[in-house]
Amino acid sequence: MSEVTAETAQTDQADEASVIQYLQDNPEVLMAYPEVFSSLAIPHKTDGATSLVERQLKLLREENHALTSKIDELVGIARENEELNQRFHRLALELMSTDQLHDVLALVQDQVQTFFYTDFVCFRFLPGVTDADNVIEGLCLKQDNGIVDSAQPWIKARKPVCGRQDDKINRELFGADIRIGSSALIPLYHTGDMGLLCLGSTSADRFGVSMGTIFLQQLGELVSNRLKILLQVA
């Protein structure tokens, strides 16, 4: 056993000597592989104190790690946005090839629920908005319970409203038996106000008031443009 250990030690020393000799003969090799060089921990003896060089190297490594993490985060966001753009494109193509109102509504609900990772999607139209076949008759907001007064300012503002709504509004928009933690309410409009595309989540953090709404607004414009020829607005 001791002979094997001695042989192993001699082999390790020989390997170390080979590495050292190679680096001495080729000092530029570490510069050619900066990721290896930046990961090296080179101590500087200063009688028990940490040298300035060592502190600087530590700070540089920490900054490098933070920058790498940030870059990874930005790349992830870019990939998500690219995927979302592709889904928007497919939705637009499918909407262009769909002529029936009930098919348009079903298509939007199914696609939006999938690519916005939300639990509930529904349409709510203002009183006075109709269609030739009464498809949306059960989707219109009631005039006598105050929900129209709440919805109209959101639609007129032409911007999605994200965050938490009170239980009364959630019941009127999503249904009495559905528990909503947060929602995104997207205005539907063209020459006139049509209603809302409502996205609801059981999570209170899914749709925050500070979240970006560019894609939500573009979604509302896309759907509104398709509905404008299928609905009549009083």
pLDDT tens sequence across 111-134? 999 888 899 999 999 999 999 999
For CA atoms 97, 99, 102, 108, give the dihedral sign.
positive
Domain count, the chain: 1
Q: Is residue 118 part of a domain?
A: yes
> Residue 210 phi/psi, 5° resolution?
-100, 5
Q: Is residue 77 part of a domain?
A: no
Q: Is residue 206 part of a domain?
A: yes
User: Residue 106's domain is classified under what CATH number?
Assistant: 3.30.450.40
pLDDT band per the 50, 70, 90 thresholds, residue 9: low
Q: Which domain range does residue 131 map to?
A: 100-233
Helix (H) or strand (E) holding 199: strand 193-201
Q: Is residue 186 part of a domain?
A: yes
CB 84 within 8 A of CB 191: no
Q: Which of the residue ranges 14-23, 67-76, 94-103, 200-209 would you say has the lowest mean pLDDT?
A: 14-23
Q: Model pTM? A: 0.68
What digits encode the pLDDT tens for the residues 46-100? 555 556 677 777 888 888 888 888 888 888 778 877 877 788 888 889 998 888 9
